[in-house]
Amino acid sequence: MLPTLALSSPGPADILALVVLIAVAVISWKFQALTLSGSLGMVGMGVVLAVVGGWEWLVPIAVFFISSTLLGYLQHDDDESAERRDIWQVLSNGVVPTLGCLILLFGEEYRATAITVYIGAVAATNADTWATEIGMRFGGGTRDIVSGMAVAPGSSGGITGIGTFAALMGGVVIAVSSAVLDLPCIEGKHCLFFMSIAGWIGSMVDSLLGS
C-alpha cells in the first residue's frame, strides 16, 4: 500500500530553519568543513526533514553536525587541516535518519516509529563520532573490544575507557536535543534514557563489527 502524502505547508519557523540550514552549509563550505557536494547533500537532507517533519527534526542532526565538526579539529594541529566531508560521508551519517523521518509519510500512527528510528540513528552516529574523536585524543591506551589486546589508536574495533564514556555522553546529548520532538513514551515517561542507551549500544555494536 502506497503512503498517503499529507504534508502541511511550511510555517515561518520551518522557512527560517531552512534559511539557517543553507547559511550553515555555505559557511561550512567556505571554512572547508564540507566539500561543495557535502554542503549540497546536507541541504538536501535538511529540506526533506523540514518539509516532512518540521523544523524540530533539524535540531538533533544539527547538534550532531556541529559537535562532530568541532571535535574533528581536536585531531589536527594548528597547521594541519581537518578532513572535509564529501557527499558520501554526509549520506553515510544522514541517510538512515532521513529514511526514519520519511516513515511519517505512511501516516500519523507511525510517528512514534519514525521518531524512534530517527533519534536512534542520530544518537548512534553521534556516540560513535564522540567515542572516536575524544578517545583518540584523550583516551590513552586502545584495546580491541573483543580480545582486549592493545591496538593502535583509531583501529577498527578499538576502544578506550574515555572513548566509551564519550560514546554514552554523545547519545545523551542527542537524546536531550530530541526533546523538541513529541517523543514516544513508555508508561507515561519520555524515552530520553532509552534513546541515550540506544546511541551507546549502536556505537559498541559498530566497534564489535569492526573488530
Residues 83-88, mean pLDDT to the nearest whole number: 82
Integer CA distances (angstroms), 89 to 33, 41, 83, 127, in order: 12, 10, 11, 16
pLDDT band of residue 40 (cuts 50, 70, 90) is very high
186-203 per-position pLDDT tens digit: 554 556 777 778 788 877
Measure CA of the first residue to CA of the last residue in the chain; give whole Å: 40
Higher pLDDT, 175 or 194: 175
Asked whether residue 157 carries a pLDDT value surpassing 80, the answer given is: no
Share the mean pLDDT of the chain. Answer: 80
Higher pLDDT: 183 or 162? It is 162
Grid cell 527560517 in the structure block, residue: 16
Measured CA angle at 117 (ends 157, 27), to 5 deg:
80
Question: Rounded mean pLDDT of 16-28?
Answer: 86
Q: Which residue has the cell 505512511?
A: 106
pLDDT value of position 183? 64
Instruction: Round to whole Å and give the CA distance between 134 and 117.
Output: 26
- pLDDT score at 179: 79
Tell which wins on pLDDT, 83 or 16: 16
pLDDT band at 44 (very low <50, low <70, confident <90, very high): very high
